[in-house]
Structure 1
Amino acid sequence: MSTQPSAVENTPRTPLEAWRELREGNARFISGDTLHPHQDAQRRKDLAQSQKPFAVIFGCSDSRLAAEIIFDLGLGDAFVIRTAGQVIDNAVLGTLEFAVDVLHTPLIVVLGHDSCGAVTATNDSVDSGNLPRGFQRDLVEHIMPSVLESRRNGGTTVDDAVVENTKQAAARLMDQSRSLADAISRGDTAVIGACYHLEDGRAELVYSNDPAFRDA
C-alpha cells in the first residue's frame, strides 16, 4: 500500500460525488451496460506508484457480493475489505483508518446483502439457543445484537436482520474509532450502509446520518 501522491487524480473528491459514482456503476451493472472501466494496461501503469481510491467498501465475504463487479469499478477505484457478515475487528478498523487517514478516501460503504449466511446462522442460533463451535461462534456473537434488535423492532425475516446488521455496523465504526469519527465530523469522509439484492443486483441505501445521501 503506497502513501505517495496519486498519479490518478480524476476521481470523486467528496462523499456525495463518490456515492453518485457508485450508484451510476450499479445502475450499469443492473442493466447489463457495464463499462468495465480502469482495467487496461495504461491504468495499471498509472497506479504502479500510488493509489487514490474514492470509496472504501466494507462488505460481506459472500462470493456473490464482489464489490468491483456490482459497482462496475476498476483498478484503483475502491479499497475493499470483506468479512463474513461485515463483522468488525481491530484489523478492519485499522484498515479503514488507513484508507481515510492516509489515502484520504471520501466515502465508507458498509455493504450487506440479502440471504446472508452469517446472519442466517445467527438467526438460527437465537431460535435454537445453540452456538456454533470454533471461530464461527465469534461471528455469531458479534451479529446477535443486530438480530435481537431487528426482532424488537418487529422484523420477522433474515433480510430484516441483514438491514439492521448493516445499519449497526455502519454506526459502530464511528463509536469504535476516534480517527474515523473525527474525519466524519470534519466532513472529510462519510459512512453509509447499503444492502445488495441478489436477484436484481440493486445496492439500496439503508443507512446514512446525512439526509443529503437520501436525496442523491
Structure 2
Amino acid sequence: MYILRTKKAKQYITCIILLATLIILIGCTAPQNNSNVSNAETREASKEVAVIEISPSNSFELLKEGNARFIDDKAGIKDISLERRQTLTEGQHPFAIVVSCSDSRIPPEIVFDQALGDLFVVRLAGNLVDSVALGSIEYAAAVLESPLIVVMGHEKCGAVIATAKGEEVPGSIDSIVRIIQPSVEKVKAMGVAGDELYEKATDENILNSIEEIEKSPIVKELIGTGNLKILGAKYILETGEVKFFSEVD
C-alpha cells in the first residue's frame, strides 16, 4: 500500500510540474504575439505614410530609378509573397499610371522595375486612348489618386509603320489605323519619309494620346490643382531606356 501511494504521489508531482511549465510557456509567448501585432501595425502605418507622401515629382523619380536598374541589369527582387498579395486585397495605391502599347517587348512593370500594386497599366496597340482606356485612366487618377500619367510609345511600332505604309489591314485592326492616321499625315506634310517618318509619327502619336487624355474634365481638374502630371515617353528597344519628352518639376 505504501508503494502504491508513493507512485501516485510521484505522478501528482509530475502533473504539477508539467502544468507549471505550460503556464510559463504561455506567459513567455504572450509578449511575442503583442510584438507581432505591433510590427504589423507599424508596417501598415508606414504604407499609409508612403501613400500620403507620393507626388508627381517623386513618382517620376521612382520610374526613372527603376528604368535605370533595368538598363543596368540590376532589377530588384520583387515581393510576390503571399503576405504581399494579402496586403493588396485590402486595396491598391499605384504611384503612376502608364499608358503603353500592347507590344510584348515593353511590359511597363518590367521596364520600370516595379512590383505588384505599383503601377496602373493601360495597354492598347499603338498606345491609343479610346473611351474605355480614358475611363480607366480617370479611375486611377481620381479614385486611386495616382499622381502621374506616362504615355509610353516605342521604337519601330508596328501599328504606326502599318499606318504609314498605307497597307490594307484585316478586321478591326483598321480601327487602330484610323486613330493613328492623323499623326502620320501631319508628319508626312513636313516632307519626312522612310524610317524617320515612322519614328516622328510615333512621337506625334504619343502626343496625340496625351491630348486625348487632357480633354477629360476629370483629368483637367486634377492637373489644375497640381495633383496630376502627364508625360510622354518613348522606349528604345535595343538599350531598354525610356526617354521622357519632359521632366516633372
User: TM bucket by the smaller chain?
Assistant: 0.7 to 0.9
**Match of residue 43, structure 1, among 84, 103, 106:** 84
Unaligned runs of 5+ in 1: 1-6
Query: Secondary structure of 1:110's match?
Result: strand
Is the counterpart of residue 87 in structure 1 residue 128 in structure 2?
Answer: yes
Label 1:131 to 1:182 Cα distance change in 2 as closer, same or farther (>3 A): farther
Give the corresponding residue for 1:140: 177
Is the counterpart of residue 189 in structure 1 residue 228 in structure 2?
Answer: yes
The alignment's TM-score, normalised by the length of structure 2, stands at 0.75
Give the corresponding residue for 1:117: 158
Contact 1:38–1:73 (8 Å) recurs in 2: no
Alpha-carbon distance, 1:88 to partner = 1.4
Is the counterpart of residue 204 in structure 1 residue 243 in structure 2?
Answer: yes
Label 1:120 to 1:50 Cα distance change in 2 as closer, same or farther (>3 A): same
Alpha-carbon distance, 1:47 to partner = 1.0
How far apart, CA to CA, are the structure 2 residues paired with 1:150 and 1:20? 32
How far apart, CA to CA, are the structure 1 residues paired with 2:212 and 2:112? 24
How far apart, CA to CA, are the structure 2 residues paired with 1:118 and 1:28? 29
Give the corresponding residue for 1:30: 71
How far apart, CA to CA, are the structure 1 residues paired with 2:128 and 2:112? 22
How far apart, CA to CA, are the structure 2 residues paired with 1:86 and 1:120? 14
Alignment of 1:6-85 (within 5 A): 8-9=47-48, 10-11=50-51, 13-85=54-126
How far apart, CA to CA, are the structure 2 residues paired with 1:98 and 1:83? 17
Unaligned runs of 5+ in 2: 1-43
Give the corresponding residue for 1:165: 205
Query: Secondary structure of 2:181's match?
Result: helix
Give the corresponding residue for 1:149: 186
For 1:57, the aligned partner's letter is V
Deviates more, 1:40-49 or 1:106-115: 40-49
Alpha-carbon distance, 1:154 to partner = 4.9
- The one-character-per-residue Cα deviations of 1:53-108 (angstroms, maximum 9, x if unpaired) are 00011100000010000100000100011000012111101101100111000001
Alpha-carbon distance, 1:115 to partner = 0.5
How far apart, CA to CA, are the structure 2 residues paired with 1:32 and 1:164? 30
Contact 1:122–1:144 (8 Å) recurs in 2: yes
Give the corresponding residue for 1:3: none
1 or 2 for the larger relative contact order (CA 8 Å, sep ≥6)? 1
For 1:197, the aligned partner's letter is I
For 1:27, the aligned partner's letter is A
Query: Secondary structure of 1:188's match?
Result: coil
How far apart, CA to CA, are the structure 2 residues paired with 1:121 and 1:21? 34
Query: Secondary structure of 1:104's match?
Result: coil
Larger helix share, 1 or 2:
2
Kindly report structure 1 stretches of 4+ aligned residues shifted beyond 6 Å: none
Alignment RMSD: 1.7
- The one-character-per-residue Cα deviations of 1:154-207 (angstroms, maximum 9, x if unpaired) are 5432112111111121122112x111111111111111110000100000012x
Contact 1:155–1:161 (8 Å) recurs in 2: no
Deviates more, 1:101-110 or 1:143-152: 143-152
For 2:240, the aligned partner's letter is G
Is the counterpart of residue 178 in structure 1 residue 198 in structure 2?
Answer: no
For 1:106, the aligned partner's letter is P
How far apart, CA to CA, are the structure 2 residues paired with 1:153 and 1:52? 43
